[in-house]
Structure 1
Amino acid sequence: MGLRYYESQATGVVVAQLEAGDLLLECIRDLVKEADIHTGVLMTGIGSLSKARIHTVSTNVNPVEELYLDIDGPLEVTHFMGLIANYEPHIHISMCTPEMKFYGGHLEEGCQILTLSEITLLRVPDLKLHRRPMPERSPYHYRMLDTQK
């Protein structure tokens, strides 16, 4: 177990590999802090999970209600991607069971890696994005702001 990553100084691309037993979101948070990625794009993510926790909207009106799902593996991660603003990742994930039942939603803590996970992030140093909550819309709505402008 452990966090390993490599960064291209020319492009700002960070490539990381997580290992069996690591917790996906928690390790991505550690990576973002250790690599000092205030604002970035999580471009690709693949791997496998022994268990997952996600949430998704369960109503079609605002304020939306959310459904939290705990899913037992093995799960093949087909893709995850997201944004990093103020060092906090916001990630959506797609995965499937061996029977090809697909799940997708917002990545939550507690997703345990089965074999490995490979991740590519793009550092965006000329932006300083922050999320401002908008509780008047819903508990899950926010506005993205660039604090450098």
Structure 2
Amino acid sequence: MEYYRNESDAFIRLEPGDFLMKSLMEFAKLENIDFAIISSGVGMLEGIEMGWFCVNNNDYDKYTIAGTYDLSSISGNISLFNGNPHPHIHIVANHPDFETLSGHLIDCRCHITMEIGLRIFDNEALTRKTKEGVPASFITKK
């Protein structure tokens, strides 16, 4: 992983084999980031694991996707959850036949390169929490 950061933005480039989630968590720890929005991203993915949130289990049903895909779109955020960086990401990716898949990303590896843009927010503003009776976690003011 290689990155550049200024006051409010960051650019991260991943190397082949780098895991996206691990890289984003490592970046957030190194740069002391509590909250950032993923503003853009392109690249090639492999080893994709997607998830569908099962409300009854309050967890994701996980699905492994074989093959190499082109990252067409990425959105989400990195927040602190129980004191640790927690990426929440959704992607759209296409296969060589232009068939697409989309949804919640559990994790993936960089195939050739990945280039991710981030918008960094004031570290005192937002956090991720849970609320009794509400499945999943959510972003709220600190």
Task: Give me the whole-angstrom Cα distance separating, in 1, the residues matched to 2:47 and 2:138.
Answer: 31
State the identity %: 23
1:144 aligns with 2:139: yes
Task: State the Cα RMSD in Å.
Answer: 2.0
Deviations 1:77-105 (A, max 9, x none): 11111122223221111111112221111
Equivalent position amino acid for 2:139 in 1: M
1:120 aligns with 2:117: yes
Deviations 1:24-63 (A, max 9, x none): 11111111111221111111111111220011247xxx54
Higher relative strand content: 2
Task: Give me the whole-angstrom Cα distance separating, in 2, the residues matched to 1:28 and 1:108.
Answer: 13
Determine the structure 2 residue equivalent to 1:131. Answer: 128
Tell whether the 8 Å contact from 1:51 to 1:75 is kept in structure 2 after alignment: no
Equivalent position amino acid for 2:25 in 1: R
Matches within 5 A, 1:1-149: 3-9=1-7, 12-57=8-53, 63=56, 66-86=60-80, 87-109=85-107, 111-125=108-122, 127-138=124-135, 140=136, 142-147=137-142
Pick the structure with greater CA Rg.
1
Equivalent position amino acid for 1:14 in 2: A
Name the SS of the counterpart of 2:34 in structure 1. coil
Task: Give me the whole-angstrom Cα distance separating, in 1, the residues matched to 2:39 and 2:3.
Answer: 15
Tell whether the 8 Å contact from 1:25 to 1:107 is kept in structure 2 after alignment: no
Name the SS of the counterpart of 1:30 in structure 2. helix
